[in-house]
C-alpha cells in the first residue's frame, strides 16, 4: 500500500513541478530567441572570403532531465508504440537551449554570425534502459569583424 | 592559438599542415551531484552540476589538444570536432580533435 502511495506521490510531484519547469523554460526560450534573432546560425562550412575576419570556436551545452511523470508516460508508450511526445519536448528544449547559449557566447565576443554549426546529443544516465537525461552540445565558428 | 571548426579562415592563408591533434578527458560525477541529479529526475529540469562538469571536462580536452598543437609548432587548429562517449556507468569521455596548421 505504502509503495503505491509513494508512486502516486512521485507521479503527482513530477507532473506538477515538471509541467511548471517546462512552461517556464519554453517561455524563456522564446523570449531569448527573439532577442538573439539577429545572429544567424548556418550550417555552411565555407564562409565568404571577401573580407578578413577573426574566427573563434563557440559552444553551448546543457543537460536536461525529464520528470517522473513523463518517464512513466514514456514507459506506457513503450507498450503501445508510437510517438513519445514527452521525450520529443525534452530534446527540443535541450537543443534550443544549447543553440541559445552558443548565440549568447557569440554576442559576448562581439560576433555577428555562426558558421558550420553542429549539434551533438549524448544520453547521460544509462540506468535501467531509460533516457532520463540528455546532454546537447552545439558548437560552431563565430565570425567577428575586426574593428 | 586560433581554434575554429571551419576549414579556412577568411583573409588568412594556410602555409603548413601539421596533421591531426587530439585531446581527451574522462570524468566521473561525484556523489553530491548524483543525489541532486536523482532529485531532478523526479522534478525534471536542467542538471546544472552536470552541465558544468561536462563543460569543464570539454575545456580540459580542448586544452590538451591545444598543448599538442603547440608542441608541433602550430598556431591554429582548424575543423575541430567534439565527441562524447560513456565508457562506464557514471563516467564520460569528452574528446576533441582537429587539424593543426600554421597560418601566415
Domain count, chain A: 1
Amino acid A51: pLDDT: 75
Which residue from A22, A59, A115 is facing B6, i.e. has the nearest CB? A115
Which residue from B10, B40, B47 is facing A48, i.e. has the nearest CB? B10
Our measurement of the distance from residue B14's CA atom to the centroid of its chain's CA atoms, rounded to an integer in Å, reads: 23
Which residue from A52, A63, A123 is facing B11, i.e. has the nearest CB? A52
A61, B44: Cβ pair inside 8 Å? no
A positions 111-130 inside 8 Å of B (CB): 115-116, 118, 120, 122-127
> Mutating which of A25, A27, A62, A63 best tests the B interface, going by the most B Cβ atoms within 10 A?
A63
B43-82 per-position pLDDT tens digit: 888 888 888 888 898 999 999 999 999 999 999 999 999 9
B50, A14: Cβ pair inside 8 Å? no
A138 φ/ψ angles, rounded to the nearest 5 degrees:
-115, 130
A39 closest CA partner among A117, A147, A93, A136: A117
CB distance B27 to B94 below 8 Å: yes
A86-137 per-position pLDDT tens digit: 889 999 999 999 999 999 999 999 999 999 999 998 876 655 545 678 889 9
The CA distance from B72 to B47, in Å, is 38
Structural domain including A46 reads: 2-144
A17-69 per-position pLDDT tens digit: 888 889 999 999 999 999 999 999 999 888 877 777 888 999 999 989 888 88
The CA distance from B59 to A141, in Å, is 16
B22 φ/ψ angles, rounded to the nearest 5 degrees:
-150, 160
The CA distance from A57 to B78, in Å, is 10
Q: What is the DSSP letter of B89?
A: T
Please give the ipTM for the structure prediction. Answer: 0.85
Amino acid A80: pLDDT: 86
Tell me the CATH number at A15: 3.30.110.70
- Structural domains of chain B sorted by starting position, each given as residue range(s) with its CATH number in brackets: 2-103 (3.30.110.70)
Amino acid at each position: 500500500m505504502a509503495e503505491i502511495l509513494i508512486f502516486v506521490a512521485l507521479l503527482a510531484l513530477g507532473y506538477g513541478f515538471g509541467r511548471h519547469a517546462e512552461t517556464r523554460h519554453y517561455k524563456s526560450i522564446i523570449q531569448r530567441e527573439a532577442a538573439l534573432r539577429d545572429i544567424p546560425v548556418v550550417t555552411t562550412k565555407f564562409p565568404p572570403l571577401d573580407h578578413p575576419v577573426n574566427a573563434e570556436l563557440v559552444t553551448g551545452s546543457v543537460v536536461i532531465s525529464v520528470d517522473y511523470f513523463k518517464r512513466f508516460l514514456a514507459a506506457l508508450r513503450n507498450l503501445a508504440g508510437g510517438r513519445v511526445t514527452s521525450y520529443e519536448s525534452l530534446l527540443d528544449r535541450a537543443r534550443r537551449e544549447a543553440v541559445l547559449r552558443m548565440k549568447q557566447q557569440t554576442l559576448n565576443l562581439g560576433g555577428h554570425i555562426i558558421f558550420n554549426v553542429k549539434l551533438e546529443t549524448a544520453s547521460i544516465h544509462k540506468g535501467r534502459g531509460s533516457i532520463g537525461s540528455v546532454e546537447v552540445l552545439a558548437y560552431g565558428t563565430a565570425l567577428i569583424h575586426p574593428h | 592559438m586560433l581554434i575554429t571548426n571551419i576549414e579556412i579562415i577568411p583573409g588568412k592563408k594556410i602555409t603548413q599542415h601539421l596533421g591531426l591533434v587530439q585531446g581527451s578527458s574522462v570524468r566521473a560525477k561525484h556523489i553530491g551531484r548524483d543525489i541532486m541529479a536523482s532529485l531532478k529526475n523526479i522534478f525534471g529540469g536542467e542538471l546544472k552540476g552536470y552541465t558544468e562538469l561536462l563543460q569543464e571536462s570539454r575545456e580540459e580536452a580542448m586544452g590538451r589538444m591545444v598543448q599538442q598543437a603547440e608542441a608541433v609548432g602550430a598556431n591554429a587548429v582548424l575543423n575541430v570536432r567534439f565527441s562524447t562517449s560513456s565508457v562506464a556507468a557514471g563516467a564520460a569521455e569528452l574528446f576533441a580533435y582537429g587539424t593543426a596548421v600554421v597560418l601566415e
